[in-house]
Every structure is written in structure tokens, then in C-alpha cells.
Amino acid sequence: MNAVIYARVSSTNDRQSTDRQVSDLNGYASKNDINVVKTFEEHISGAKRNEERPVLCECLDYCIENKIDTLLISELSRLGRNVDEVLANVKRCKDNNLNIYFQKENLSIFQADGTKNPFLNIFISVLGTCAEMERENIKFRLNSGRAKYIADGGKLGRKEGYRKPKEQKEVEYKEVIKELKKGTSVRRTAKLCDVSVSTVQRIKAEFNL
């Protein structure tokens, strides 16, 4: 069985590497007697649309044109920025008899006997819904924290020459700090917490995250 590996990280600099994804997927292929013929690696934000991910597009085209058996990917989120895009890519691969194996979720389009996995689309939809709910929960907690801070007499604006105390930032931006500690990228943290990228960058630098 021939396979191709696709690995992606959000950072466009040296802070993140695809090495772990590629190593894990090569290990899986070796254990299952799968021959990896090519590896595609991409450094681009997960918020980009399919057409803005040239390496992913090239990878899918290569697999379909060369009748590759399986595309190996570390997790579902590598295949699209939202549920609709992931499902669209899965459908394209399914229609062209290209199997995809998602290592983290231990799921594939086709099962061992060649039949389509009946739970894959359901799982993708549920996972996407849970991710959307978590983003809304983070925004709610962040806005709630701001509201409480203001109700307790705090002011979000600052006087000229005034620097906000670090302790205040720690309370006001606790959700941002939490996401950064988890290893979430700057842009994704900004999106999840509904703050600007520059704010996240400042918090990241000040708290050495």
C-alpha cells in the first residue's frame, strides 16, 4: 500500500515544526507495512481557506492523479479551517477512492474491508460543533471577566504614560494566558479570545509564554 504524508503547522517562522507529525506518521506507516512515497509539509495559518493552502492543494492533486492508496494526516484540523471544508475535502477524497487516515482520532474514510466508515462524517460534525462551543465559552468567560473588572471599579482605558500592572493583565487576560500556555498559536488565541493579535503578542512576550 502506497501512502503520502501531509503535515501542517500554523506558525510561519521557526517556533513550530512539522517534525513531530512527520515522525509519528512515518512510525505508523512502518508498523503497518505502508510505503510512504512522498511527504508534503506546510507552514500556514489554520484560518486560511483551502485555496489559500497551496501545499494542501498540491498534495490532494498529487494523491488523486497518482492513485495513492492512503493520505496520512496527524489530525482532522489539518485538513481544513472548519467543518464544511474538512467535509468537502473528505468527500473529494472519497469520490476518488483516496483513503485518509487521521492518526489522533484513529479514523479513516474507508474501513479495513474497503467499505466507507459510516461514523466519519458524524464525528467530524460533532467535533466541529464542540470546537465552536468552546470558542464561544472562552469569549463568554473573557467578556464576563472584563465586566466584573469594570463593575469592581476597574477601568479598561489608560491614562497617558500609564502602564497597566502585570497583576491586572493576568486577571484581565487570563483566557489568553491559558491558551498560550496550552501551546495555542498567537493568531488562533486572538480569534478564540476575541482580542487583537498585537494584544496576544504583548501578553506572550510579557509573561514569557
DSSP string, 2-62: EEEEEEEES-SSTT--SHHHHHHHHHHHHHTT-EEEEEEEEE--TTS-GGG-HHHHHHHHH
- Evaluate if residue 155 carries a pLDDT over 70: no
Half-sphere exposure of 46 (CA within 13 A, CB side): 23
pLDDT at 89: 87
Assigned domain for 196 exists: yes
Residue 142 resides in a domain: yes
Q: Is residue 184 part of a domain?
A: yes
Instruction: Count, in order, helices (H) and strands (E) of the chain.
Output: 8, 5
- 107 and 150 together in one domain: no
pTM for this structure? 0.60
Least confident stretch, 21-25, 48-52, 85-89, 91-95: 48-52
Q: Could you say which of 118, 145, 160 is where a domain stops? A: 118
Cell of 99: 483513503
Same domain for 106 and 35, yes or no, is yes
Pair 43, 83 in one domain:
yes
Q: Are residues 161 and 96 in the same domain?
A: no
10 Å CB burial of residue 16 (0-12, 13-18, 19+) is middle
129 band by pLDDT with thresholds 50, 70 and 90: low
Rounded Cα distance, 14 and 17, in Å: 7
Instruction: Read off the pLDDT band of 63 (50, 70, 90).
Output: very high
| Burial environment of residue 59 by CB neighbours within 10 A (0 to 12, 13 to 18, 19 or more) | buried
Q: Which domain holds residue 37?
A: 2-118
**CATH number of the domain enclosing 30:** 3.40.50.1390
Residue 51 has pLDDT above 70, yes or no: no
Confidence of residue 111 (pLDDT cuts 50, 70, 90): confident
164 and 194 inside one domain: yes
Domain-located, residue 73: yes
Give the sign of the dihedral formed by CA 137, CA 140, CA 143, CA 146.
Answer: negative
> Has residue 126 been placed in a domain?
no
Residues 143 and 111 in one domain: no
More confident residue, 36 or 138: 36
Do 85 and 153 belong to one domain? no
The residue written with cell numbers 471599579 in the block is: 153
Beta carbons of 57 and 88 less than 8 angstroms apart? no
- In a shared domain, residues 61 and 111: yes
- Least confident piece of the model among 16-30, 38-52, 55-69: 38-52
Beta bridge partner(s), residue 110: 116
3-state DSSP assignment of residue 148: helix
Would you say residue 158 has pLDDT above 70?
no
At 45 the pLDDT is: 63
- Strand ranges of the sheet holding 35-43, from the earlier edge strand across to the other edge: 35-43, 2-9, 70-73, 99-102, 107-108
**Is 129 inside a domain boundary?**
no
Q: C-alpha distances in angstroms, 129 versus 19, 85, 161, 179, 197? A: 29, 14, 44, 19, 24
Average pLDDT over residues 78-83: 76
How many structural domains comprise the chain?
2
Q: Is the pLDDT of residue 132 over 70?
A: no
Co-location of 110 and 139 in the same domain: no
Q: State which of 53, 85, 118 marks the end of a domain.
A: 118
Query: Is 73 found in the same domain as 47?
Result: yes
Radius of gyration of the chain (CA): 21
